[in-house]
Amino acid sequence: MPTEGDESGDLVGDQHDPVRLVGLHRLVSATMRALGQAVGDSVDPILNSALAAIGTFSGVDRAYIFLTDPDGAHLSNTHEWCATGIAPEIANLQHVPREMADPWFEAFEDDQHVYIPSVAELDDDQAELREFLLAQDIQSLLVAPLGSGGEIHGFIGFDYVRHRADFSPADLDVLRILADTIGATLSRLRAEERAARVELVDPLTGLPNRTMFVELVDQTLALGATGPVDVRPETAGRRTARSQRRSLVGLIDLDEFAGINETFGFETGDAILVRVAERLQAALRPDDHVARVGADEFAILVDDAGDDVAVDAISSRVAAAISEPVDVDGTLATVSASIGFNVDDGTAESGAELISGAEVALRQAKGSGGARAVSFDRDSGDRIAERVNLTMRLRSPGGLDALRVAYQPAVELASGRVLGVEALARYTDADGAAVPPDVFIPVAEDAGLITALTQRIGRMVVEDVLERILPVLQGPLSVSINVSAAHLEHPEFVQDLAPYLEAAATCEPAHLWVELTESGSMVGDPQVLANLDAVAAAGVRIAIDDFGTGYSSFARLRHLPIHGIKVDQSFVRGVESDPVNQSLIRAQVDIADGLDILLLAEGCETRAEVDTLTELGVLFGQGFGLHRPMPIEDLVELLAAQEPPPG
Ligand code: C2E
Ligand code: CA
Ligand code: CA
């Protein structure tokens, strides 16, 4: 019990004993080391044991930490240690108004601690504080700020209940060092927390980013899986059971956004992205989520999408939100988008699975020309399984051994002479069934196997040229392989392709080519330009594949070492009765003439198409109507039967 007038106190140990001071120093530096490595939640146990150690050692009755509540107007006791026989107060000291401690915080702002040797002697202008402290039997106390300047998180305090305190200046120094370390640790942890938050949010739109979106979808599925069926009348239907609830994920990829950036500039491009983000949010309910998951890709998550009719309604609202023109400095810009939806039927195991279905659907939407939505419905659900199996098979040892090459001839339309061949990858699954390249090429790209695949195809092609084709060749022949656009951006591209590039000389009179799908980076990326130059310098020719479906403009093509373009099949299909495609092909013929490069039309299936193409000035063609892709044996036979070229 506190004794009236007990000035010097029956202290635990002599406060001025140097041995005691060294011990205190040791404790504080051990705590500092531990705090220096503390992350997240691990800081709490460190603080608790530091308070206990220092409390025991220095003979105080209570050692504690108060932190400011998020509202800034209250304080809460977050950590407390009490000597034996001293009643804990932590439970009584939650969310107490900060006002009472305002004089202390004024001192803290000046980097001062507050030492009250005798609470009973506090001035009357601090009467409220005096009574508050006395109510806890506190006779003396020391409080020191945690943090400094504009960032004071709270304070550390030491109470004397049974007797009055007698801190030496050396004690105070050590305790201040401790307080400063704790303050700095709290500042660091809060900064890390903020940084972690920032990493989950897209800075441009303030929307969750991809990482956070995946997390949100995971959480939604987890909630649904464990959430109880709510049958209470007042809340029934608020959160229905997983099997009845349908979560919808939508991926929205803006079409040709690179073109928009180029036409209007990046600043305007950004403004459009912000507008689209706002519209998507407005199209959905507040509980739903919109995220920005890529440069020009958004994602939505609708927790409980409802029945088919409701899902359709959501899709149209989203589509409308995007297709409405955006006012850009007085000019109306229209953006279109490809959308992939996936609605969980209660079977999705993870957020990643649900999202991956939407990705498959998005790919289909983009593949069919964009500006459309595709839903990944239950019927195509096994495509995910197929993809997973294929990825595993491709990645397994010897997974690429099943790769084969089919050769599709390209002909001079007027004579039908085979002037070139394109190597097309063929793959069979474990059961020997053919897997189309449109399926396994994207899988190989995602699985990081596309380089190995291209190298293997290149090697097989060079081997076929040297051993099978050259012996029967009567004149020049172009031989091409396909290269993925993504690969072209790699700094190692030339090194990866070295064996193919180096074979160019020994393959004469066969000329090696690479076919590249046009991509946005083709014109801007210096790495891509360097790679293209190196390919051309090696004597390997370059064709732009699927021409007209990407973003190439004539002006940009001029500066690339391009030797040919392949007009995409979509222009050729039914061209004889399609005046628009006719004029587009005529324009492409003009470009090729202007640049003095070759032009070939892909996908020639009918006589009528070939005739129209010829009228439009197309000299070369490829397609099922001319020759289907064939094994090397058939190609050798075809080439051997060919007359030597005239002249
Ligand atoms: P692509 O480079 O545009 O190849 C032409 C595709 O059109 C081939 O499909 C070919 O069989 C098909 N085709 C040719 N003539 C006609 C026709 O008259 N009508 C129709 N409907 N189709 C025709 P395939 O072999 O299924 O290849 C599809 C795509 O897969 C290729 O499109 C190419 O982008 C990719 N691919 C194929 N092999 C490779 C490869 O070794 N590496 C890479 N990176 N991609 C490859
Ligand atoms: Ca091709
Ligand atoms: Ca093509």
Q: Vertex 154, ends 83 and 122: CA angle to 5°?
A: 70
Residue 645 domain flag: no
Centre of ligand 2 to C-alpha 483, Å, is: 8
Q: 442 CB less than 6 Å from ligand 1?
A: no
| Ligand with smallest separation from the Cα of 548 | 3
Q: What is the CATH number of the domain that holds 607?
A: 3.20.20.450
For residue 23, which amino acid is it?
A: G
Q: What is the CATH number of the domain that holds 314?
A: 3.30.70.270
Residue 12's pLDDT is: 40
Same domain, 336 and 435: no
Same domain, 356 and 411: no
**To test ligand 1's pocket by mutation, which of 400, 403, 405, 424 has the most ligand atoms within 8 angstroms of CB?**
424
Q: 437 CB less than 6 Å from ligand 1?
A: yes
Average pLDDT over every residue of 84-101 = 87
Q: Tell me the two tokens of residue 634.
A: 């058939």
**CA–CA gap between residue 305 and residue 248 (Å, rounded):** 6
pLDDT over threshold 70, residue 471: yes
**CA–CA gap between residue 543 and residue 626 (Å, rounded):** 20
Residue 13 domain flag: no
Residue 236's pLDDT is: 38
Residue 166's pLDDT is: 74
User: Which burial class, exposed, middle or buried, applies to 549 when counting CB atoms under 10 A from its CB (0-12, 13-18, 19+)?
Assistant: middle
Top-confidence residue, 453 or 13: 453
User: Which atom of ligand 1 is nearest the CA belonging to 457?
Assistant: 41
Same domain, 239 and 275: yes
Residue 10 domain flag: no
Q: What is the CATH number of the domain that holds 68?
A: 3.30.450.40
Same domain, 156 and 214: no
H helices present in 447-525, as ranges? 450-464, 485-488, 493-496, 498-502, 504-507, 521-524
Domain termination site, one of 167, 196, 225: 196
Average pLDDT over every residue of 290-297 = 92
603 falls in which pLDDT band (50, 70, 90)?
very high
Average pLDDT over every residue of 381-399 = 66
Domain termination site, one of 358, 374, 397: 397
DSSP states of 602-616 as a string? ----SHHHHHHHHHT
**CA–CA gap between residue 623 and residue 607 (Å, rounded):** 11
Residue 377's pLDDT is: 66
Same domain, 503 and 595: yes
Residue nearest to atom 46 of ligand 1 (CA): 482
Residue nearest to atom 25 of ligand 1 (CA): 424
Domain termination site, one of 172, 196, 220: 196
- pTM, whole model, 2 decimals? 0.52
**Helices 351-367 & 382-395, crossing angle to 10 degrees?**
90
Same domain, 251 and 338: yes
Residue 28 domain flag: yes
Average pLDDT over every residue of 143-167 = 86
pLDDT over threshold 80, residue 368: no
pLDDT over threshold 90, residue 555: no
User: Which atom of ligand 1 is nearest the CA belonging to 602?
Assistant: 15
**CA–CA gap between residue 314 and residue 373 (Å, rounded):** 12
Same domain, 432 and 312: no
Same domain, 442 and 383: no
Residue 321's pLDDT is: 78
Residue 233's pLDDT is: 39
User: Which burial class, exposed, middle or buried, applies to 200 when counting CB atoms under 10 A from its CB (0-12, 13-18, 19+)?
Assistant: middle
Residue 23's pLDDT is: 76
Residue 453's pLDDT is: 95
Same domain, 424 and 466: yes
pLDDT over threshold 60, residue 328: yes
pLDDT over threshold 50, residue 5: no
Top-confidence residue, 338 or 515: 515
Residue 8 domain flag: no
3 falls in which pLDDT band (50, 70, 90)?
very low
Look up tokens 């220092």; give the residue. Answer: 54
Average pLDDT over every residue of 611-622 = 98
445 falls in which pLDDT band (50, 70, 90)?
confident
Q: 353 CB less than 6 Å from ligand 1?
A: no
Residue 462's pLDDT is: 98
What is the edge-to-edge ordering of all strands in the sheet holding 248-254?
Answer: 289-294, 297-302, 248-254, 337-343, 373-376
Top-confidence residue, 528 or 244: 528
Inter-CA distances, 522 with 402, 493, 556, 595, Å: 32, 14, 9, 17
**To test ligand 1's pocket by mutation, which of 363, 482, 610, 630 has the most ligand atoms within 8 angstroms of CB?**
482
Average pLDDT over every residue of 126-136 = 86
| Cis peptide bond upstream of 509, omega within 30 | yes
Residue 563 domain flag: yes
Residues with Cβ within 8 Å of 549's Cβ and at least 6 positions away in sequence, in order, are 369, 518, 568, 570
Residue 201 domain flag: no
Average pLDDT over every residue of 638-642 = 95
Centre of ligand 3 to C-alpha 8, Å, is: 94
Average pLDDT over every residue of 430-443 = 85
Q: Is residue 266 helix, strand or coil?
A: helix
| 337 phi, psi to nearest 5 deg | -145, 155
Least confident of 62-71, 103-112, 192-201, 485-494: 192-201
Q: Are 308 and 296 in contact (CB under 8 A)?
A: no
Q: How many structural domains does the chain have?
A: 3
Q: 623 CB less than 6 Å from ligand 1?
A: yes
Same domain, 413 and 438: yes
Average pLDDT over every residue of 139-160 = 89
Q: Which domain holds residue 380?
A: 210-397
pLDDT over threshold 50, residue 13: no
Same domain, 480 and 615: yes
Least confident of 60-69, 219-228, 529-538: 219-228
Q: Tell me the two tokens of residue 99.
A: 């006002």
pLDDT over threshold 80, residue 179: yes
Q: Are 353 and 318 in contact (CB under 8 A)?
A: no
Residue 7 domain flag: no
Q: 425 CB less than 6 Å from ligand 1?
A: yes
A 10 A CB-CB count for 444 gives 26
Same domain, 379 and 441: no
Q: What percent of the chain has pLDDT over 90?
A: 37
230 falls in which pLDDT band (50, 70, 90)?
very low
Inter-CA distances, 133 with 179, 385, 474, 593, Å: 21, 67, 105, 93
Centre of ligand 1 to C-alpha 625, Å, is: 15
